[in-house]
Structures are given as structure tokens and as C-alpha cells.
Structure 1
Amino acid sequence: MDILNAGLFSLAAIVLLGSPGPGIAALIAVGREKGFTGGLKFYSGLQIGLAFAAGISAAGLFSVIQTLPVAMTIMTILATLYLLYLAYSIVTAPVGIEPGSTSKRFAGTALGGFLLGVTNPKSYIAFVSLMASYPIINTNASADVTVKWLVCVIVMVVVDILWLWLGVIIQKAGMTARSERLLNITMGSIIAATAFIALI
């Protein structure tokens, strides 16, 4: 095992997977609306979806999908529609509520989190880039991508729980309704922009 490359890969994973995007914007929004405990279902669904997406990338299946124009078109349309729905849900989310809301909005459910994880274009781009970088185990390609997949999962589990908690902290900060609405619009815009980029 190449320890230096393992460290560089881990750092790259933290930067790519921990940078703002649709998943992180959604985690902050869910944390604000549902509180920490209430947001764990969405968080768990998101982690499963992202782990699945990472597995697809590690197995090289995403590269295969990219060679099928119809499959890529369908995937892009579905991803775009869901991201736009998620953006709308965040922008129109109620403000001035206490954490732990009993809202049943689909975007904040475990299934909603899973769908975001498996349809998020930013994630696939990050995973494909990571899997092709910094060989950790030079003598065994299968072991190399397996270790990389495990590192990505660990990074996502740790980083995303922190973003969920940030949403809770923001809610506890006692922001005005106007400030909360502006924050919702900002996060929704980030997701909508990602949906637009997916179409390019």
C-alpha cells in the first residue's frame, strides 16, 4: 500500500466530496427544518445513495453508461427533474419553525435522500475523478478501487453529518424569517444551478 497516495487520495476526497453542492445544501436545509434526529433518515438515505453511486463509478459502470447515449439522456433528464424538484422544495420550505418539524415533504425523507445520492451529477464526476487518481494499491486494481470506495464512504459519512449539524446550528441561531428565506433561496439556487450544469 502506498501510504503517501492514500493520504493524498483522502485529502482529495475530503475536498471534492465535502465541497458545497446539492447534497450539502439539502443536508443543511433538512437539518434546519427537522433538527438533527429528524434529519437522520434523509442523511442515511443520502449516504446509501452516494455509496451506491461510488460503487458504480468504482466498478467502471458509469463509463459504460456514458457510451450509451439513450441511457445517458434518460439519466440526465431524471437527475435534472429531481434536482429542480429538490431546489423548489428548499426554496419554498417553511421558515420560522422549530427544529424537529413533523413535515412529511418527500424531499426530506430517506427515499428522497437516496434518490439525490444516486442522481447527483456532481457526485459521479467526483467519484470518477477520484477512482482514476492516486493509486493506493499498485499491484491489484480490484483492491485499489475497493479501498478507494471505502475511503470515499468514510469521508462522506463524517463530512455529511457535520453539514447536517450545521443546519441545526443555523436554526438554533435564531435567524429572522427574512434571513432564513434568503438562505433557502441561496441553497435552492445552488441545486438549480447544478441541474442546469447537468444538461450542458
Structure 2
Amino acid sequence: METLIGFVTAALALTGSPGPNTLSLAAAGAAFGARASMPYFWGLLAGMLAVMAIVGTGVTGILLAVPSAAAVLTIAAGVYFLWLAWKIATAPPLDDAGARRRLPRFRDGAFLSLVNPKAYAAMASLFSGFQLLQDSPAADGLAKTGLLLADIAIVNVVWLQAGAMLTRYFREPKASRAINIGFAILLILSVGLAVLR
């Protein structure tokens, strides 16, 4: 029971803290509202399931054993996050009728999870640092995956709703620009912190 409590506490701390997924979900909720951002929400969750499978089966270790693979992946992810931060920072206000606003899609969320360095670091820590079921590695992995999916879903709902509470400010151009730039800066900082760890 102590191991389970420790696992759940660590999972909440690692997945609930600000990071690329949570900040981008809050930004989507703020810009488009919670309901319109649900495809993105489900994409982030599906991507995290894929990250858990990659980490839990050891594929990450095999991939990173290839010389320079880590550097290439880090650069590619960094470029993507800079592009995403730029898109968030320059998004037009909600009342700008002439502006093109594209709702975040399922595939956007799934891709973000797959290139999120914090996601891999958190899942590696949780999968390697705790053993919930002693006798069966497969059952242990499945138990961790189920608990983590529930945890991530709850955490993401909180971040999405927190962002959605800012939606009314997105109708005011100055407030919208300030919030967008703030989310973009936080996104870049969260990625930088994840990479430095």
C-alpha cells in the first residue's frame, strides 16, 4: 500500500506540474474553450499511452543507444516546440473575425506527447522507480499504465478547465496577446527545464 501511495503521489507531482502538455492544453482551453479542445485532450492522452508503451517496453533505451540519436531527437523536438510557442504567441484574439483560427486536433495532441521530453523523463522515472506487483512484470506494467492514464486524465481536465476560465480575456486584444505570450514563454521554459534534467 505504501508503494502504491508513493507511486500515485509521484505521478501527480510529475504529471501535474507545468510542462508542454499541460501548458498547451491550458492555452487551448483558454483560446477555444474546454469543449472545443476535447479532441486535443484525447490526442494528448493517446500520445501519453504511446509514450508509456515506448518507455515500459524498453524501446527508448534501445533507440537512445544509437549514437547521436538523442541529439537529433532533442533538436527536432526543440524546433517543434519553438514553432508551437510561436503559434501560441501570435494567435489572434477570439473576436478577430478576419483571423484564421484552427482548433487543436487529436493528432496535434498525440504528436506533442510523443515529442515531449518531460513525458519520457516522467514515465521512465515512474516505471523504473516503483514496483507495484512483485511476481509479474507484465501485470506491473499494466497496473502502472492504468493508474497513470487515470492520473493524467484528471490532471489534464484540471489544466483544461483552468485555461477555459481565461477564455473571456481572449476577447480583449491586449489581454489575449499578453496571455498568449505568457503561455508561449512558459512552454519554452518547461521544455528547457525538462531537457536540462
Report the TM-score when normalising by structure 2.
0.88
Answer yes or no: is 1:140 the counterpart of 2:126: no
The alignment partner of 1:95 has SS state of coil
How far apart in 2 are the matches of 1:198 and 1:134? Answer: 21
Answer yes or no: is 1:45 the counterpart of 2:43: yes
Could you tell me which of 117, 122, 146 is aligned with 1:121? 117
How many Å apart are 1:192 and its aligned residue?
1.9
Q: Which residue of 2 aligns with 1:184?
A: 180
How far apart in 2 are the matches of 1:24 and 1:184? Answer: 15
Q: Which residue of 2 aligns with 1:4?
A: 2
How many Å apart are 1:35 and its aligned residue?
1.2
Q: Which residue of 2 aligns with 1:34?
A: 32
Could you tell me which of 57, 79, 83 is aligned with 1:85? 83
Answer yes or no: is 1:14 the counterpart of 2:12: yes
Query: What are the Cα deviations for residues 103-133 of structure 1, in whole angstroms up to 9, with x where unaligned?
Result: 226xx22211111010000110000001111
How far apart in 2 are the matches of 1:48 and 1:96? Answer: 28
How far apart in 1 are the matches of 2:81 and 2:22? Answer: 13
How far apart in 2 are the matches of 1:104 and 1:126? Answer: 30
Q: Which amino acid is the alignment partner of residue 89 of structure 1?
A: K
Answer yes or no: is 1:54 the counterpart of 2:48: no
Q: Which residue of 2 aligns with 1:25?
A: 23
Answer yes or no: is 1:169 the counterpart of 2:180: no
Change (3 A) 1:13 1:97: farther
* C-alpha contact 2:41 2:106 (8 A) present in aligned 1: yes
Answer yes or no: is 1:110 the counterpart of 2:106: yes
The runs of at least 4 aligned residues of structure 1 exceeding 6 Å deviation read: none
Q: Which residue of 2 aligns with 1:66?
A: 64
How far apart in 2 are the matches of 1:143 and 1:86? Answer: 37
Where in structure 2 are there 5+ consecutive unaligned residues?
A: none
* C-alpha contact 2:24 2:183 (8 A) present in aligned 1: yes
How far apart in 1 are the matches of 2:33 and 2:100? Answer: 10
Report the TM-score when normalising by structure 1.
0.87
Where in structure 1 are there 5+ consecutive unaligned residues?
A: none
How far apart in 2 are the matches of 1:110 and 1:66? Answer: 27
How many Å apart are 1:41 and its aligned residue?
1.0
Percent sequence identity over matched residues?
Answer: 26
RMSD of equivalent CA atoms: 2.3
Q: Which amino acid is the alignment partner of residue 90 of structure 2?
A: T
How far apart in 2 are the matches of 1:44 and 1:97? Answer: 27
* C-alpha contact 1:80 1:198 (8 A) present in aligned 2: no
Higher deviation after alignment, 39-48 or 169-178? 169-178
